[in-house]
Amino acid sequence: MSSPNKQSKSWIGGFAESNPAFAYPHPDLTSLDMLDNMDNIDKLERQMKILWPEFSWLTQLKDKDSRCFQMFAPDISRVGYTAEGRIYSIMCPQQGAYLKSVGINLNVEVTVTGQRGWVDEDSPSLLAADMTVTGKIWFSPNNDHPLLKLLFSACNDLDLPFDKAHAIQVETSNIGNTSSIFTLQRDSTTRFESPDFAKHKDKAFGVGHIDVLIDNIKDSGNNTVNKFNDIVLGIFNILSGNMLEKGNILSWNVWFNTPEIVDQAEWRAHAKRWRESIDVDHRSPDGNGTQAQYYNGDYLKISELKVLEQLLKLIWEVLIPHAGEFGLNEKILMKMTEKIGVQMKNVIVEEI
């Protein structure tokens, strides 16, 4: 017996042609309202899952040869729409950034905060959508470094990024202007050539792309938390190869699976699960994402020493001067600096 929430409508189409302004080469979707992802789940009838969310960015802003590529966790993202083709929801991708040798784990999500657009399953153009996007970063609960364990256990009165609800938010804007609305357009981005391991033509139904300019970190409303978040963002950028460094351009090629009927109850459950965050092992329903790689296949190397330097900076510049606000003991923090100093010496010896 089928679920009462499972829709039965086959593809009808027609919405993409309902307004001449929607057409390529420059689809204008401004006649449509920007909608929240969860406001119209009852209108969803069909979906395309994004099984291959391929991201790319420069690890060094002015070096085009420093470009790396990483597939975020699969089967979190998807596009939901009516049988006629009006988009009412776009779910966002997540991924983990971690360094086991230090014991530090961070999550990143490219959060879609608003959307509008169309899908045409019969057209090579496939879709056009406008989106507003925010980068979010927060600590996974399975951090093993002693400093992070201390912070998790002691700092309950400040809105620190220890869960998705209090994530660091990185603002984004359009390339070449200050608009916060970006267009998800047909085909792969033309800003660069992707390596074969980041292409999925043999399996995917179709592909679209979006390019966003990374901007400022959003003010938390608390100066101490802002200082804390600035350093944590620096740690994340070491772990990720400057993915969310201000001025960088984050590109996203979205490779879609075959269109299918929506089960609205499953969609709500899926959205709720991933709103609460990717799990502690950075797993999605269909497995992990990939490690960041350069075009030639070499993996991104993470500097353990730089991460430790940032943890030390966090103690000296934020935690000790504001120990009272964090509910921390200065003597314990001083001992922690000694432990990190030993770690740094060991890393230097290993690198020699």
Q: Cα separation of 311 and 304, whole Å?
A: 11
Average pLDDT of 56-62? Answer: 95
pLDDT of 4 reads 47
Alpha-carbon torsion (137, 142, 146, 151), positive or negative: positive
By mean pLDDT, which of 150-159, 167-176, 326-335 is the weakest? 150-159
**Residue 131 in tokens:** 């989106």
Burial class (CB in 10 A: 0-12, 13-18, 19+), 146: middle
Average pLDDT of 220-237? Answer: 94
Average pLDDT of 46-55? Answer: 94
Q: Cα separation of 158 and 228, whole Å?
A: 11
Residues 295-321: tens digit of each pLDDT: 999 999 999 999 999 999 999 999 999
Q: How many CA atoms lie within 13 A of 248 on its CB side?
A: 24
The model carries a pTM of: 0.88
- Taking all residues of the chain, what is their mean pLDDT, rounded to a whole number? 88
Average pLDDT of 25-44? Answer: 92
Average pLDDT of 62-86? Answer: 92
Residues 90-109: tens digit of each pLDDT: 987 767 676 777 788 888 88
Spatial CB neighbours of 245, under 8 Å, sequence gap ≥ 6: 61, 214, 237
Helix then strand then coil, in percent of the chain rounded to 5, is 30, 30, 40
pLDDT reading at 352 higher than 80: no
Q: What are phi and psi of 169, to 5 degrees?
A: -110, 125
Count other C-beta atoms under 10 Å from residue 7's C-beta: 19
Residues 198-212: tens digit of each pLDDT: 999 999 999 999 999
Spatial CB neighbours of 185, under 8 Å, sequence gap ≥ 6: 27, 128, 208, 209, 210
Tell me which of 299 and 4 has the higher pLDDT.
Answer: 299
pLDDT reading at 351 higher than 80: no
Q: Cα separation of 128 and 120, whole Å?
A: 9
**Residue 275 in tokens:** 């709103």
Residues 252-296: tens digit of each pLDDT: 999 999 999 999 998 888 777 765 555 444 444 445 678 899 999
